[in-house]
Chain A
Amino acid sequence: MTSRQSSSTGLRLAPSGLRLPPISLRTRIAFYYTFMTALLMAAVFAAILFSIDKIVYLHFDEELRHEVEEALEEARMNERILNGLDGFRDLGRTVAEYRELEEIANQRDVHAQFIQLVDSEGRVLSKSFNLAGNSLSFNAASSGVRYFDSTVGGVMVRQVQVPLVSQMGDVQAYLIIGIPTRSTMRVLQDLRNILLWSLPAIILLLFILARALAGSSIRPVGEVIATAESMTQANLHQRIPLPEKHDELYRLSVTINALLSRLEDAFAREKHFTSDAAHELKTPIAVVKGTLDVLVRKPRPVAQYEEKIHYCLDELNRMARLIDQLFMLARYEQKSVKPQIVPIEFSTVLEPVISRLEHLAGDKQLSFVRQNIEQSMVSADPAMLEMILENILSNAIKFSPAGSSIDIEVTRSPGQVICTITDHGIGIPEEHVQYVFDRFYRVDESRSSGTGGFGLGLSIVRRLADLQNIAVSLSSREHAGTAFRLVFQAI
């Protein structure tokens, strides 16, 4: 079956030459079913024919044996048993007897029999009258009792030839008895014909029925196909109606529906991202364009020009930062990115990041507090890990009130290194916690809140962490602070 399928697939995929129309599943099912049934039926029919044939011959041979016994009995009763051949010469029944028998045979459709006596050379010694000018054939090849088919005057007969052995042990003559088999053989032939002709008819009927049955049993597949075919990006919310029976088709439908849900989610996320990105990019353009548009409408004092130009430059710088982050996100989301993971002492990455951010923290009188920094080797891409720490720490700076501290802790537990960065800032309301890693997600919806972020930093953090098998999570209490946790597999 497998090879058949693959060969038909191969034909279908063949780029040139003969293209077979694809065979439908229902036809294939019906075909395999019918093929197997036909084989089985042919075997059964053959067995029937064979055994009936055997039985018929068994009956013939039994009858012949019976006739032989009867003939020998008759010979004995004539007290000429085996002493001479004379007794056998008269073995044949009288003409009158045969006439009578033939009549009876004709009337009752009983088989008549032919009897013939030959000497050891095969010369006819005596034969029954009904043989008339014909004689039963003699098989000289064997000297034992032998059953075989032959014809007498165009009539099919089953014969037996029995050697008559003298007391000295040598074959003196053969008794040959034949019974006509024509009528039985005709019945057998008819049966054979009937079976032979009915087989294709039955197979054809079976194929049609099987095809209809297969069709009705895979009809739900057709519905699944119809629904799936009607799916476009616009109606991805559609689902395949579930069949009532909890069978394989139900499972198929459930699986396809789950797949559709995932697709819909992915599409929605992508659409959301594109729309967010467009919004974020268009806004600074709108600001710069609008500001300059208004600026050039009238002549103005130089100070005003300078102020507006600086303002526009700030906007453009912000936009450049956004584009950088978008590129970074796009690059790291590609599958081809391979982090250069090496074993590294955690604090050798952490310390440079802290010193780089020191001046930013200083602006808000924030202090970094290293609470419990254990010497820990982790496996990570140093550049990526740096970016993760920088993002989390600058986030912490952004949302911390002036004068507070940002606590950093690095601890080892069996098999793990855990880095926790805790701020005492505004925190994240519970309902937002699960979304903060989403692209363009900002807890504070008003984009003009002055924190200046795009909501991409934590998306980048998560992506980078995923690339290096670092588990990143956060816990937060509103107005109390947020704690980020990075969990590394220890080495």
Chain B
Amino acid sequence: MRLLVIEDEAGIARFLKEGLEEECFAVDVASDGKTGLALALTNEYDLIMVDWMIPAISGIEVCRQVRKSGSEVPILFLTARDAVEDVVFGLDSGADDYIKKPFEFEELLARIRVQLRSSKQEEGAIGVGALTISTVTHQVFCGSVEIMLTPKEFALLEYLVRNKERACSRSRIIEHVWDMNFYSDTAVIDVYINFLRKKLEQAGCRNVIHTIRGVGYIVREPQIDQK
């Protein structure tokens, strides 16, 4: 999952990036509204976090412009102000949620998970067939067997499972799993997919990730073998 953090306060931007990357997110950081808006409009993010008081273009304006472009990306705003009208104004400008500074990092993660889950029934876990992924603890199980994954492998698997039954092109995978500092060719995806398949098969989950020739990969519910 790829996030954009628009925050001018270097200290906050720094721990957000470090902390979120440890949680297997790809994180881009912009230190002012103008750069942030440009990034938001060019890249495909799974969530945007924007501070309210930023130079060049205000957080509210960034929010409005993103919505005006037709994007429905979840937007979470950070604010140091706690006046009710600020919060109301922010939510009315198109933001989905807010968090007041200073905040608990755990709470921020929970709020991000809320925005990323596709349905209210999800309850912190996604899965396909025997495979379950806990988005809270970042554990992956095949049945009752835990599979140990690296952060990148986890991010890749999480993205594919979230988009199960949908073909994910290599470029989309790059967009959502790697941050903007990653420019190498898409072949690296094939390497990670290989690792993933091996680890899944060892645990007993076969035929989860399928290759679509010339396009990318897809995660499908396993066909029940009648024979």
Say yes or no: A445 contacts B22, CB within 8 Å.
no
User: Which A255-299 residues have C-beta < 8 A from chain B?
Assistant: 275, 278-279, 282-287, 289-291, 293-294, 297-298
| A interface footprint on B106-138 (CB within 8 Å = 1, 0 otherwise) | 100000000000000000000000000000000
A residues less than 8 Å from B105 (CB atoms): 290, 293-294, 297
| Any B CB within 8 A of the CB of A479 | no
Q: Report which of B15, B18, B81 forms a contact with A287, defined as CB distance below 8 A.
A: B15
User: Which A235-269 residues have C-beta < 8 A from chain B?
Assistant: none
Known: A283-B80, A298-B22. A447 touches B9 (CB 8 A): yes
Nearest residue (CB) in B for A315 is B11
B residues less than 8 Å from A446 (CB atoms): 8, 31-32, 54-55
| Any A CB within 8 A of the CB of B214 | no
| Any A CB within 8 A of the CB of B166 | no
A residues less than 8 Å from B56 (CB atoms): 445
Nearest residue (CB) in B for A318 is B11
Say yes or no: B80 contacts A290, CB within 8 Å.
no
- Give, as a whole number of angstroms, the nearest-CB distance from B226 to chain A: 46
B residues less than 8 Å from A2 (CB atoms): none
Say yes or no: A448 contacts B104, CB within 8 Å.
no
Known: A278-B80, A297-B22, A446-B8. A286 touches B102 (CB 8 A): yes
Q: Report which of A278, A282, A291, A298 forms a contact with B15, defined as CB distance below 8 A.
A: A291
Say yes or no: B19 contacts A287, CB within 8 Å.
no
Nearest residue (CB) in B for A295 is B15
| Any A CB within 8 A of the CB of B203 | no
A residues less than 8 Å from B82 (CB atoms): 278
How many angstroms between the C-alpha atoms of A282 and B78 in the bound complex?
A: 12
B residues less than 8 Å from A279 (CB atoms): 53, 80-81
Say yes or no: B11 contacts A275, CB within 8 Å.
no
Say yes or no: B18 contacts A294, CB within 8 Å.
yes
Say yes or no: A286 contacts B81, CB within 8 Å.
no
Nearest residue (CB) in B for A282 is B80
Tally of contact residues, A, Cβ under 8 A: 23
Say yes or no: A294 contacts B55, CB within 8 Å.
no
User: Which B81-113 residues have C-beta < 8 A from chain A?
Assistant: 81-83, 101-106
- Give, as a whole number of angstroms, the nearest-CB distance from A282 to chain B: 4
B residues less than 8 Å from A278 (CB atoms): 80-82
Known: A279-B53, A286-B103, A446-B8. A294 touches B80 (CB 8 A): no
Say yes or no: B101 contacts A283, CB within 8 Å.
yes
- Give, as a whole number of angstroms, the nearest-CB distance from B105 to chain A: 4
- Give, as a whole number of angstroms, the nearest-CB distance from A446 to chain B: 4
Say yes or no: A290 contacts B10, CB within 8 Å.
no
Q: Indicate the size class of the contact surface on chain B.
A: 20 to 34
Give the one of A278, A294, A445 with max B CB within 10 A: A294
How many angstroms between the C-alpha atoms of A287 and B18 in the bound complex?
A: 12
Nearest residue (CB) in A for B17 is A294
Nearest residue (CB) in A for B54 is A446
| A interface footprint on B52-71 (CB within 8 Å = 1, 0 otherwise) | 01111000000000000000
Q: Report which of A282, A294, A315 forms a contact with B19, defined as CB distance below 8 A.
A: A294
| Any A CB within 8 A of the CB of B16 | yes
How many angstroms between the C-alpha atoms of A291 and B53 in the bound complex?
A: 20
How many angstroms between the C-alpha atoms of A346 and B11 in the bound complex?
A: 42
| Any A CB within 8 A of the CB of B12 | yes
B residues less than 8 Å from A286 (CB atoms): 9, 11-12, 80, 101-103
How many angstroms between the C-alpha atoms of A432 and B53 in the bound complex?
A: 18
How many angstroms between the C-alpha atoms of A54 and B201 in the bound complex?
A: 138
How many angstroms between the C-alpha atoms of A191 and B127 in the bound complex?
A: 115
Say yes or no: B106 contacts A293, CB within 8 Å.
yes
Q: Report which of B9, B81, B83 forms a contact with A448, defined as CB distance below 8 A.
A: B9
Known: A297-B22, A448-B31. A283 touches B12 (CB 8 A): yes
A residues less than 8 Å from B11 (CB atoms): 283-284, 286-287, 290-291, 311, 315, 448
A residues less than 8 Å from B103 (CB atoms): 286, 289-290
How many angstroms between the C-alpha atoms of A311 and B15 in the bound complex?
A: 11
How many angstroms between the C-alpha atoms of A282 and B8 in the bound complex?
A: 14
Say yes or no: A282 contacts B102, CB within 8 Å.
yes
Q: Report which of A275, A294, A311 forms a contact with B81, defined as CB distance below 8 A.
A: A275
How many angstroms between the C-alpha atoms of A289 and B9 in the bound complex?
A: 14
A residues less than 8 Å from B83 (CB atoms): 275
6 residue pairs of the A-B complex, CB under 8 angstroms, read A283-B12, A283-B80, A290-B11, A293-B15, A445-B55, A448-B10
15 more CB-based (< 8 A) A-B contacts, given A290-B12, A290-B105, A445-B56: A279-B80, A282-B101, A284-B11, A285-B101, A286-B9, A286-B80, A290-B16, A293-B106, A297-B19, A297-B22, A311-B11, A444-B55, A445-B55, A446-B8, A448-B31
Residue numbers of B with Cβ under 8 A of A are 8-12, 14-16, 18-19, 22, 31-32, 53-56, 80-83, 101-106
Residue numbers of A with Cβ under 8 A of B are 275, 278-279, 282-287, 289-291, 293-294, 297-298, 311, 315, 444-448
Closest 6 CB pairs of A and B: A287-B11, A294-B19, A286-B102, A293-B105, A286-B101, A445-B55
